[in-house]
Amino acid sequence: MTDAAIEEVPAEPAPPEEAFGALVTWSRGQRVLHPTRETYLATVEALRDAGFIMCVDVCAVDYLLAKHGRALPVGIEAERFEVVANFINPAERSRIRTRVQVPESDPTCPSLWPLHAGTEGPEREAFDLFGITFDGHPDMTRILMPENWQGHPLRKDYAMGRIPVQFKGAPSS
């Protein structure tokens, strides 16, 4: 048999890594799960059942101008907003992060409050500052800004305000 007779079969790409019902990427040695909005609660419940009993943070990110430049697994479509939650498994001394894509046209995400009661405040902050509503949250009201405030100050398209400063003893204009 000659080398020309040996036909090379292209290797099939490895299937994407999955854990807890979500696609996985890695960031700085930490596993990052990418559940959809529809599978988010089931993924977090599976994490809790596996020992990730502490949710240490829930926050939001606005990717207004960088929507297409971030690392996401194949099959996850980049959206303007992202809800990020971090969990700890104290028995194994390990961390895991979830990143849920939230579209600008429907800025809603399921609330983690039924599974982790300590997420009530951070979800209210994400609502107040980014305008993401958390379905199932017990008190989806502003927490930092006044109730009558218009807009969400951490959105990248929020107009920067200007507050005039008057120094003591300075001539007024």
Looking up residue 74, the CATH number of its domain turns out to be 3.30.460.80
Residue 159 belongs to a domain: yes
**Domains contained in the chain, number:** 1
Max CA-CA distance within the chain? 97
* Alpha-carbon gap, residue 43 to 36, rounded angstroms: 9
Residue 78 belongs to a domain: yes
- Runs of H (alpha helix) within 66-140: 120-130
Supply φ then ψ for residue 29, to 5 degrees.
Answer: 80, 5
Residue 81 belongs to a domain: yes
33 vs 12, residue with greater confidence:
33
> What beta strand segments (E) does 1-106 contain?
18-19, 22-27, 30-34, 54-62, 81-89, 94-102
Residue 130 belongs to a domain: yes
pLDDT score of 168:
72
In the structure, what pLDDT confidence band is assigned to residue 4 with cuts at 50, 70 and 90?
Answer: low
| 36-80: pLDDT as tens digits | 999 999 999 999 999 999 999 999 999 998 766 788 999 899 999
Residue 7 predicted with pLDDT over 70: no
| 137-167: pLDDT as tens digits | 999 999 999 999 999 999 999 887 766 666 7
| 116-135: pLDDT as tens digits | 999 999 999 999 999 999 99
Residue 3 belongs to a domain: no
* Alpha-carbon gap, residue 2 to 29, rounded angstroms: 45
Residue 7 belongs to a domain: no
Residue 2 belongs to a domain: no
- Domain ranges, residue 77: 17-173
Residues 6+ apart with CB under 8 A from 1: none
Residue 4 belongs to a domain: no
**3-class DSSP assignment, residue 16:** coil
